[in-house]
Amino acid sequence: MTTSIRFIVINNNIILAYSPINGTDWIAERLSNSGIITIARTFSFAAADKYNLEDTPEINDEYDDTAYFKIGTIEGEYYKINAHILELHHDLLISNDIRLERKLFTTVDNISIFAKIDSIIDGPIIIGGSSENAIPKQIFLELLSQFPTRNILRRYSEACIARAISDYIPCKPDTEQRLEAAWRRIRRKTTVPTTPALPSTLTEMETSKFVYIRDTLKAMLADADSYPEATWQTEVSKLFLLIYPQYITLINQVTIPDSISTESSQRRIDMLLVDANGFIDVLEIKKPFAHSLVRRGRYRDNYLLGHETEGAIMQTEKYLHNLVRWGASGEQLLGTKYSSQIPDDMKLNLTNPRGIVLIGRDDLSQEERADFEIMKRRYSDISDIITYDELLKRVDNILFSLNRHTAAPLPTKQ
């Protein structure tokens, strides 16, 4: 016979049945002499906690040499455990759909689990059930599987001491490794929760969306000259929102005050982007004229930005400057004027707007590309200067990622 701790319910009373390997004769003597007995370094009982099984003759326990102690009662959907039994400062309630067993209360090396929890909270301990303040059952069971053992606590203490004194006294070099090894042994026993697999239909839908974007943009670029600029901007902006889902809407033809120009008091921005938090950015879309990114000639062996590219960047920076100057009054005016295009409770925000410029084709030599990348980074307010070829590359990279999650090959269009 080995030492056994079991839990039984008798007439709404929760009883701990203790069957020690050395019998129960010593228990009465210990209670008489010291007034208390502690079991598994976790359960502390006084003489008043003893339960006389003879009061319930209908209960036939299979263990002859067993001591019985009342540890709590059933209250509604919970087992209520008497706080003094576990030397807690707060009540302990355990959902009655959780099986009461020794490992719920104490680790294999007799560390009181609820005493540790009690020491770091300020209120009752509620496990499972419908209480709004309860620790969910699954979370608690995961805690049990990861609870530090005495070995880990000892290794942690050794590692802390070594960190403190290693600069002054030579220490064993493997204290940290022994701590990590102890943790690894626990992790191997722990079932790591996994998120549900992404339904294949969702991945297929996303793949179809980006194939459509890629093929549409390629077809437009092949016949760019036939598009009026306004039509080009409208069609490309639709694709842009699909590629960058952080933006929830695009506002066209926005008139703002101009604090820079002496010739006009207003400027008209072609496109404002609004992200999911209400922050506003500026999108400038230019048609992809050939050789527009950098100038054909060099200045002191350096390539300079093309006039169209430089003009688009300067125009965008002026938009950003005026938006920041507009401030709170602009936020309110834009929110009111374009309320139908944003969620009801959204407040537009002009704090630190950024600019995105979509322009040109990547028809650059290696030297032109190197200088262009340097010049792109000169503009702190412009978050991105994107060529149409770079935009296509981003779409292809997204499709590559999506294709890794599906068995079907990527659709292609000649």
Best-predicted range by mean pLDDT (70-79, 207-216, 292-301): 70-79
Cβ atoms within 10 A of the Cβ of 212, count?
15
Rounded to whole angstroms, how far apart are CA atoms 398 and 213? Answer: 11
Task: Indicate if the pLDDT at residue 15 is higher than 90.
Answer: yes
Same domain membership, residue 344 and residue 235: yes
Mean pLDDT of 133-158: 81
* Percent of the chain's residues with pLDDT above 70: 86
Whether 215 maps to a domain, the answer reads: yes
Q: Is residue 409 one of the residues assigned to a domain? A: no
pTM given for the model:
0.50
In this predicted structure, what is the pLDDT of residue 311? 84
Return the residue matching tokens 């978050």.
383
Exposed e or buried b for every residue in 71-80, given b needs 16+ CB within 10 A?
bbeeeeebbb
Query: 292-333, pLDDT tens digit by residue?
Result: 777 777 777 777 777 888 888 888 888 889 899 888 999 999
- pLDDT single digits (tens) 240-256: 999 998 999 999 999 99
Average predicted confidence (pLDDT) for the chain:
83
The pLDDT value given to residue 170: 73
Given a contact cutoff of 8 angstroms between Cβ atoms, the answer to whether 236 and 213 are in contact is no
pLDDT band at 275; cut points 50, 70, 90: very high
Residue 410, in any domain of the structure: no
Q: Which domain holds residue 120?
A: 4-147
Q: How many CA atoms lie within 13 A of 50 on its CB side?
A: 16
Which pLDDT value is given to residue 2?
A: 55
Has residue 33 got a pLDDT over 60?
Answer: yes
Q: Worst-scoring range by mean pLDDT, 52-61, 155-164, 370-379? A: 52-61
Are 253 and 366 found together in one domain?
yes
| Of the listed ranges 35-44, 123-132, 333-342, 361-370, the one predicted with least confidence | 361-370
Residues 214 and 179 in one domain: no
Strands 280-285 vs 355-358: parallel, antiparallel or unpaired: parallel
* Residue 309 within any structural domain of the chain: yes
Which pLDDT score, from 0 to 100, does residue 228 have? Answer: 83
Q: Is residue 414 part of a domain?
A: no
In a shared domain, residues 168 and 94: no
In this prediction, residues 104-109 reach a mean pLDDT of 85
Q: Indicate whether 149 pLDDT > 80.
A: no
Residue 402: predicted pLDDT: 81
**Segment among 49-53, 187-191, 236-240, 357-361 with least mean pLDDT:** 187-191
Question: What is the DSSP code (8-state) at residue 128?
Answer: S
Residue 411 counted as domain residue: no
Q: What is the largest CA-CA distance in the chain?
A: 106
* Token pair in block for residue 1: 């016979």
C-alpha to C-alpha distance for 143 and 190, rounded to whole angstroms:
10
Lowest mean pLDDT among 10-14, 155-159, 403-407, 410-414: 410-414
Average pLDDT over residues 331-340: 92
The CB-side HSE value for 190 (13 A sphere, CA atoms) comes to: 19
Based on the fold, state whether residues 183 and 308 are members of the same structural domain.
no
Both 165 and 217 in a single domain? no
- Predicted local distance difference test score (pLDDT) of residue 414: 45
Give CB contacts under 8 A, 24+ apart, made by 117-124: 118/86, 118/88, 118/89, 118/90, 121/90, 122/90, 123/90, 124/90, 124/91, 124/92, 124/93
Instruction: Kindly state whether residues 8 and 43 are assigned to the same domain.
Output: yes
Q: Is the pLDDT of residue 12 over 50?
A: yes
Q: What is the mean pLDDT of residues 8-23?
A: 91
Is 408 within the bounds of a domain? Answer: no
| Residue 182 scores a pLDDT above 80 | no
181 with 268, same domain? Answer: no
According to the model, what pLDDT value does residue 190 have? 54
Q: Please give the share of the chain, as a percent, with pLDDT higher than 90.
A: 36
Q: Are residues 89 and 212 in the same domain?
A: no
Mean pLDDT of 201-219: 88
Judgement on whether residues 185 and 224 belong to the same structural domain of the protein = no
Are 143 and 220 contained in the same domain? Answer: no
Backbone angles phi, psi at 265, to 5 degrees: -95, 0
pLDDT at position 148: 72
Could you tell me if 119 and 173 lie in one domain? no
Beta bridge partners of 238: none
Mean pLDDT confidence for 126-142: 91
Asked whether residue 127 carries a pLDDT value surpassing 80, the answer given is yes
Q: Residue 177 pLDDT more than 90?
A: no
Question: Based on the structure, what is the number of domains in the chain?
Answer: 3
- What is the arithmetic mean of pLDDT over 132-154? 82
